[in-house]
């Protein structure tokens, strides 16, 4: 039982970051019906900004804030600078997804050009070796901070979406863009904010994942795929589903690696995608998307 609790806690630590990645994916999908395949690369670029500042001994809070601004700026800039003009020229959803793939390749090139392709270690101020014993479970300082980051990020997004006028506008826009425009909601601005917030969530995940992974131009590829699997598991149009999917996937991975094989742990996310799409295509908490034509 002690081992089970230990592995479950480890899974919750990873799952909280998968949940943040999944929340960003779902937030954009709910708003624009676009799957953003540059989500992980935006986080990678912003995490390297943190790396540059931390190696120059700037405070962690300043480095994290700068990363969030860079990530949000890239997301908002891409929406207004690329997607909006493409929509005006009649681009369909597939075309916009291809544009996100193009952004991903551009960002990868920028990271390689500026920081190089060699893996580096992020000088993180929170230790992954200092541990605390809580009952029969041992938890590291970094694991506590990781779970806290996931909880705070999810809570702030909930407050934004459910308790503010901007969140009301975001919900209205995601339900029916034309009706929201009729009510006087500046839907372009709202969608741009959604892209910025979603990118910021991915940045937080990237910054807290970097201490346990070597930082390279592709280090967010695997977390992005896990976040995408979590979004599919919970439901691509459900924000609570994204959180649930991330936590379930993190715990399932940890238990699979402990009690089965480590190789199976790395393929579990993709098996989950296949099973969920076959049995419940809308996800655990999602609902079937219907559009009035």
Give the tens place of pLDDT for each residue, 25-42.
Answer: 999 998 888 999 999 999
* Residue-range domain boundaries for the chain: 2-279
Kindly give the pairing relationship between strand 137-140 and strand 131-134: antiparallel
Name which residue leads in pLDDT, 128 or 49.
49
Strand, helix or coil at 281?
coil
| pLDDT at residue 293 is higher than 70 | no
Cα–Cα distance between 46 and 219 in angstroms, integer?
12
The alpha helices in 164-279, defined as continuous H runs, are 165-175, 177-182, 187-209, 221-234, 239-259, 262-279
Quick one: which of 72, 79, 78, 48 has its CA closest to 200? Answer: 72
Cα–Cα distance between 228 and 242 in angstroms, integer?
9
Strand, helix or coil at 153?
helix
Quick one: which of 52, 285, 61, 70 has its CA closest to 196? Answer: 70
Q: According to CATH, what is the number of the domain 2-279? A: 1.10.3470
Cα–Cα distance between 227 and 230 in angstroms, integer?
5
Mean pLDDT rounded to a whole number for the chain: 89
Cα–Cα distance between 189 and 192 in angstroms, integer?
5
| pLDDT at residue 262 is higher than 80 | no
DSSP state of 100: H
Name the β-bridge partners of 98.
none
Q: What confidence tens digit (pLDDT) does each residue in 54-107 have?
A: 999 999 999 999 999 999 999 999 999 999 999 999 889 899 999 999 999 999
Backbone angles phi, psi at 147, to 5 degrees: -65, -40
- In this prediction, residue 292 carries a pLDDT of 47
Cα–Cα distance between 226 and 19 in angstroms, integer?
9
Q: What confidence tens digit (pLDDT) does each residue in 192-236 have?
A: 999 999 999 999 999 999 988 889 999 999 999 899 989 988 988
Cα–Cα distance between 242 and 217 in angstroms, integer?
25
DSSP state of 212: G
Kindly state the percentage of the chain with pLDDT values over 70.
97
Q: How many secondary structure helices (H) and strands (E) does the chain include?
A: 12, 2
């Amino acid at each position: 039982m002690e081992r089970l609790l230990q592995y479950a806690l480890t899974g919750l630590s990873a799952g909280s970051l998968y949940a943040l990645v999944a929340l960003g994916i779902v937030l954009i999908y709910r708003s624009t019906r676009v799957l953003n395949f540059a989500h992980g690369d935006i986080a990678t670029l912003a995490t390297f900004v943190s790396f540059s500042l931390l190696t120059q001994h700037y405070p962690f809070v300043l480095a994290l804030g700068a990363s969030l601004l860079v990530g949000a700026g890239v997301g908002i800039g891409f929406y207004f600078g690329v997607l909006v003009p493409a929509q005006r020229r009649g681009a369909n959803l597939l075309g916009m997804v291809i544009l996100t793939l193009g952004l991903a390749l551009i960002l990868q090139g920028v990271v390689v050009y500026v920081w190089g392709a060699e893996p580096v270690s992020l000088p993180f101020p929170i230790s992954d070796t200092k541990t605390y014993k809580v009952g029969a479970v041992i938890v590291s300082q970094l694991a506590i901070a990781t779970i806290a980051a996931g909880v705070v990020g999810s809570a702030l997004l909930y407050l934004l979406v459910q308790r503010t006028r901007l969140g009301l506008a975001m919900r209205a826009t995601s339900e029916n863009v034309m009706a929201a425009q009729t009510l006087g909601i500046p839907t372009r601005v709202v969608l741009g904010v959604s892209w910025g917030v979603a990118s910021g969530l991915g940045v937080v995940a990237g910054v807290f994942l970097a201490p346990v992974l070597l930082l390279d131009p592709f280090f967010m590829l695997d977390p992005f795929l896990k976040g995408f699997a979590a979004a599919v598991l919970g439901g691509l149009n459900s924000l609570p589903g994204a959180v649930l999917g991330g936590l379930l996937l993190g715990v399932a991975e940890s238990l699979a690696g402990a009690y089965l094989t480590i190789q199976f742990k790395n393929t579990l996310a993709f098996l989950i995608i296949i099973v969920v799409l076959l049995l419940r295509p809308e996800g655990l908490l999602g609902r079937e998307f219907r559009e009035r034509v």
